[in-house]
A = this chain, B = another copy of it.
Amino acid sequence: MAKLPFVFGPLAGVAPGHEFRNRLELYGAGVHTQTQAGISARQGEGAASIVLSGGYEDDEDFGDVIIYTGRGGRSAESRQQVADQTLTGSNLELARNYTTGLPLRVTRKVEARNGSFYRYDGLYRVAGYWAEPGKSGLRVWRFRLELLPNDGAPSPDAAAAVSAVAEEMAAYGSAPRRASTVLRIVRDTAISRAVKALHDYHCQVCGVQLRGGLPYAEAAHIRPLGAPHHGPDALANVLCLCANHHVLFDLGAFGIAPDFQLLGLPGQLIIKKKHLIGAEFLAYHRAHFYEPQANAGQK
User: Residues on A close to B: CB < 8 A?
Assistant: 7-10, 60, 62, 65, 67, 86-88, 92, 98-99, 101-103, 123, 128, 130-132, 139, 141-142, 144, 148-149, 151-156, 158-159, 162-163, 165-166, 169-174, 176-189, 191-192, 208, 210-214, 216, 218-221, 224-228, 232-233, 238, 242-244, 246-248, 250-254, 287-289, 292-293, 296, 299
Contacts and interface: CB of A to CB of B under 8 A. Distances in A.
Nearest to A160: B154
A252 B213 contact: yes
B225 A177 contact: yes
Given A65-B227, A179-B187, A248 B171 contact: no
A87 B213 CA distance: 41
Given A132-B288, A251-B213, A172 B123 contact: yes
A43 to B, nearest CB: 13
Contacts of A214: 251, 299
Contact of A244 (B130, B158, B244): B244
Contacts of A165: 149, 162, 165, 169
Number of copies: 2
Contact of A299 (B87, B102, B131, B163): B87
Given A166-B162, A227-B62, A177 B149 contact: no
Contacts of A177: 189, 191, 225, 233
